[in-house]
Chain A
Amino acid sequence: MKCDHCDNEATVHEVTVEKGKKLEKHLCEHCAQEQGLAVKSHTSINALLTKYVMSSASSQQEAVRVCCEGCGMDYAEFRQHGLLGCPECYSSFEEQIGPLLERAHEGGTHHIGKTPRRSGGSVDRQHMLAGLRRQLSEAVAAEHYERAAELRDAMRSMGHEQDAGDDDGGVGRARARSEDDA
Chain B
Amino acid sequence: MTSPTEGPGDIGAEWLRTAGPDSDVVMSSRVRLARNLAGFPFLPKASREDRRQILDIARRNVLDAALAKQVMWVDLADSPTLERQVLVERHLISRQHAKGDEPRAVAVSSPDERLAIMVNEEDHMRIQVMRSGLALSEAFDHIDSVDDSIESRLEYAFSPRFGFLTACPTNVGTGIRVSVMLHLPGLKLAGEIDKVRRAAKGMSLAVRGFYGEGSDAVGDIYQISNQTTLGRTERQVLDDFERQIIPKVIEYERHARRTLIQMRRTLVEDRTHRALGALRSARLLAADEALQLLSLVRLGLMLNLFSSDGPELADVSRLMLLTQPAHLQKAIGRTLDQAQRRIARADLVRAEIDRGRR
List residues of A whose CB falls within 8 A of some B CB: 1, 9-17, 26, 29-30, 36-42, 44-45, 70-73, 81-87, 89-91, 94, 97, 100-101, 104-119, 123-124, 127-128, 131, 135, 150, 153-154, 157, 180
Contact = CB atoms under 8 A, between A and B. Distances in A.
B215 interface: yes
A17 B194 CA distance: 8
B122 A42 contact: no
A118 B161 CA distance: 16
Interface stretch (B11-19, B229-237, B335-343): B229-237
Contacts of A89: 42
B258 interface: no
A117 B167 CA distance: 22
Contact of B232 (A101, A104, A113): A113
Most chain B beta-carbon contacts within 10 A, residue among A10, A41, A44, A153: A41
A110 B160 CA distance: 8
Given A90-B159, A154-B236, A14 B230 contact: no
A83 B168 contact: yes
7 contacts: A45-B169, A82-B168, A85-B41, A86-B42, A104-B228, A154-B236, A157-B235
Q: Which 7 A-B pairs have the closest CB atoms?
A: A108-B231, A111-B163, A127-B160, A38-B206, A1-B215, A87-B157, A85-B45
A116 B156 contact: yes
B204 A85 contact: no
Contacts of A123: 160
Nearest to B40: A86
A83 B215 CA distance: 28
Contact of A108 (B147, B158, B230): B230
Given A82-B168, A124-B160, A113 B176 contact: yes
Given A15-B217, A101-B230, A127-B161, A117 B41 contact: no
Interface stretch (B109-117, B195-203, B311-319, B344-352): B195-203
